[in-house]
Amino acid sequence: MTSVITLLTDYGLEDGYVAACHGVIAGIAPGARVIDVCHLVPSGDVRRGAAILAQTIPYLPVGIHIGAVDPSAGGARRAVAVEAGGRVFIGPDNGLLSWAVHASGGAEAAYAISNDEHFLRPVSPTFHGRDVFSPVAGRLYGGLRPSDLGPEVPVGRLVTLPSPTSLLREGSVEGEVVSVDRYGNTQLSIAVGDLHALGVRVGDTLGVWLGRRQLSLPY
52-103 residue pLDDT tens:
999 999 999 999 999 999 998 777 789 999 999 999 999 999 999 999 999 9
Mean pLDDT score of the chain: 94
In terms of pLDDT, which residue wins out, 114 or 76?
114
Q: What angle do CA 127, 130, 132 make, to 5 degrees?
A: 85
Mean pLDDT on 46-52: 94
Mean pLDDT on 40-50: 95
Residues spanned by the domain of 126: 4-157
Cα-atom radius of gyration of the chain, to the nearest Å?
19
Q: Are residues 136 and 199 in the same domain?
A: no
Q: Are residues 112 and 185 in the same domain?
A: no
Q: Domain holding 52: CATH number?
A: 3.40.50.10790
What pLDDT, on the 0 to 100 scale, is given for residue 165? 86
Which residues lie below 8 Å from residue 55, measured CB to CB, with a gap of 6+? none
Q: Are residues 127 and 195 in the same domain?
A: no
What are the C-alpha distances in Å from 86 to residues 95, 104, 219?
20, 8, 38
Query: Is the pTM higher than 0.85?
Result: yes
Q: Are residues 29 and 105 in the same domain?
A: yes
Q: Are residues 92 and 189 in the same domain?
A: no
Q: Give the three-state DSSP class for 8.
A: strand
Asked if residue 49 has pLDDT above 90, the reply is yes
Interatomic CA distance for residues 160 and 102, integer angstroms: 10
Q: Are residues 23 and 89 in the same domain?
A: yes
Q: State the total domains in the chain.
A: 2
> In this structure, is residue 162 part of a structural domain?
no
Interatomic CA distance for residues 115 and 119, integer angstroms: 8
> In this structure, is residue 153 part of a structural domain?
yes
What pLDDT, on the 0 to 100 scale, is given for residue 75? 77
